[in-house]
Amino acid sequence: MVTLLHIDSSVLPGEASASRAVTEAFSKTWQEQHPTGTVIYRDLAVDPVPHITADAHAAGFADPATHTPEQAAAFAARLELIEELEGADAIVIGAPMYNFTIPSTLKAWLDNVTLFGRTGGEDPSAKGTPVTVVASRGGSYGPGTPRESYEFVQTYLTALLGGALALEVEFIVPEMTLAPHNPALAEFIPLFEASRAQALQDAEARAKTLAERFAA
């Protein structure tokens, strides 16, 4: 039985969120391929995980036998998130761009699951797990665009997920999501619609490809 870890972090609900719509398409297609599988879902906007504290940080590098009660409690919460990551066969993450980077709630989750000597370091415990990141953004930040140098979502997540955690990272990037809501961007609505349609198609295709990999 396979397990999908589905993480959303957009503050917007349902169809109002571009990233949620695409991660939902991925998850729905995955479940159609694996109807008896398990989906672990975390909505970080609705139920945020705690930010790393001194106790949670110190406990990650200390012998559990030496943990104070505060360290033990903080590390238990962190360990739950780490074990979800390690137990997943595939991961899908909604990572909308807020102020040129990821939501703080997603950063908190990443800080919790990144533990050098376990999930990070020479032999990361979730190495090779495929992770699909839906990196939605209100404008366009691709190569050759005026704001290319402001792109800190894919660059950061490539370094952390693909580098430190050694996961197999693939991005789906719905762009110009503000076009339908900002009159100044109205001319870009066709670009938004095309990008959204392509993102949904890519999510379904990616989910099917991964599902076939695990079925084999």
Task: Kindly report, residue by residue over 29-42, the tens digit of the pLDDT.
Answer: 999 999 989 999 99
Task: Kindly report, residue by residue over 54-93, the tens digit of the pLDDT.
Answer: 999 998 888 999 999 999 999 999 999 999 999 999 999 9
Compute how many other C-beta atoms are within 10 angstroms of the C-beta atom of residue 46.
10
* Predicted pLDDT of residue 1: 83
Distance CA(166)–CA(106), nearest Å, equals 18
Using only C-alpha atoms, the chain has a radius of gyration, in whole angstroms, of: 18
Decide: helix, strand or coil at residue 1: coil
Structure tokens at 201: 């198609």
Task: Kindly report, residue by residue over 153-172, the tens digit of the pLDDT.
Answer: 999 999 999 999 999 999 99
Number of helices (H), then strands (E), belonging to the chain: the values are 6, 5
* Predicted pLDDT of residue 193: 96
Query: What confidence tier does 214 reach under pLDDT thresholds 50, 70, 90?
Result: confident
Distance CA(117)–CA(191), nearest Å, equals 44
Mean pLDDT of 103-121: 97
Mean pLDDT of 35-56: 95
Q: For the whole model, what pTM was predicted?
A: 0.95
* Predicted pLDDT of residue 15: 84
* Predicted pLDDT of residue 16: 87
pLDDT at 216 over 80: no
DSSP letters spanning 107-171: HHHHHHH--BTTTBSSS-TTTT-EEEEE---SS--STTSTTGGG--SHHHHIIIIIIIS--EEEE
- On average, the pLDDT of the chain sits at 95
* Predicted pLDDT of residue 202: 98
